[in-house]
Every structure is written in structure tokens, then in C-alpha cells.
Amino acid sequence: MHELVQVARLESSSRGFRHTGIYHLLWAIWKSQPDLFSAWLQLYRVEIPPFVKMMETILRPRRAGGGVPRDRIDAELLERALAAADKLAGERGESTEVDHLFDVFPSLPEDPIVSLCQRFSLDYRPRTQPAGE
């Protein structure tokens, strides 16, 4: 998980973002583990190509001086998700993995998959089952 977070931070910086947000990490997961990421989206009954296209849209390079309030919100969401995933892994006596991140999405102030679907009017359904079951 640490490596994916580093990839997300480097990618966000190279694109001109002041903050690394939850979608930078989700993009890193999509690129490195597309089958797992696709399985996550299937639990929400989200069509994969439109979701990925909308992630690309929000992760387009920023101009200098950019940075919108949503970037800060997404960065805070990333930090909360990572902290919750670390806590969950610790409770299970495991090292933090990508699955822990997905397991904590419903407990966050906003589920990033649902949020992106709502922001771009993509069809989705509530998760059909908790991850790991």
C-alpha cells in the first residue's frame, strides 16, 4: 500500500496538484491492479469505462496557482481513508493492504466511488456486499 501512496503522490505532483487526493490513489490502484479495481466497481454496479473516464477528467493536469476546494476535500478524504485502513488492518493483525482501504469506504464521510458517480451523474447502486466477504 505504501508504494501505491507514493506513486499517487508523485503523480499528483507531476500533474500540478497541490494536494494528493483519494482519486490519485484510486488511479494508482486502477493502473497497478485493474482486476481488483474492476471488482470494486462491480460491487457498486458501476460501469467501468465511464468511471475511469471521469477519474481521468478530475485528474487532468492543473495550471500553476490552481487548486480548488474539492482538491483539499479529496486530500482530507485520502488521509482519513488511509488512517481508517491502517486501523482496520491493525485490528485484524495484518499489514495495511488495498483491500483494507476498500473496506473502510462506507465509514468515511463520503464514499469516494459513490461521490464520483454522483458528481458526474453515473449510475450506481449501493454496495451489494462488504469487501472481503
pLDDT band at residue 24 under the 50/70/90 scheme: very high
Element (H, E) at 114: helix 112-119
Q: Is 60 exposed, middle or buried (0-12, 13-18, 19+ CB in 10 A)?
A: exposed
Instruction: Please identify which residue in the block is written with the cell numbers 490552481.
Output: 66
**Would you say residue 73 lies in a domain?**
yes
- Asked whether the beta carbons of 59 and 16 are under 8 A apart, the reply is no
pLDDT at 16 over 90: no
The verdict on residue 46 lying in a domain is yes
Number of domains in the chain: 1
CATH of the domain at 39: 1.10.1780.10
Cβ–Cβ under 8 Å, residues 30 and 37? yes
Give the mean pLDDT of 14-38: 95
| Alpha-carbon span 68 to 42, nearest angstrom | 30
Residue 130 counted as domain residue: no
Asked whether residue 133 is assigned to any structural domain, the reply reads: no
The predicted model scores a pTM of 0.89
pLDDT of residue 18: 87
Specify if 131 maps to a domain: no
Cα–Cα dist 69/61, whole Å: 16
What does the pLDDT look like over 89-133, one tens digit per residue?
999 999 999 999 999 999 999 999 999 999 999 999 988 655 454
User: Which residues span the domain enclosing 34?
Assistant: 2-119
pLDDT score for 133: 47
Specify if 129 maps to a domain: no
pLDDT in tens, 44-74: 999 999 999 999 999 987 655 555 668 889 9
Q: Give the mean model confidence (pLDDT) for residues 7-34.
A: 95
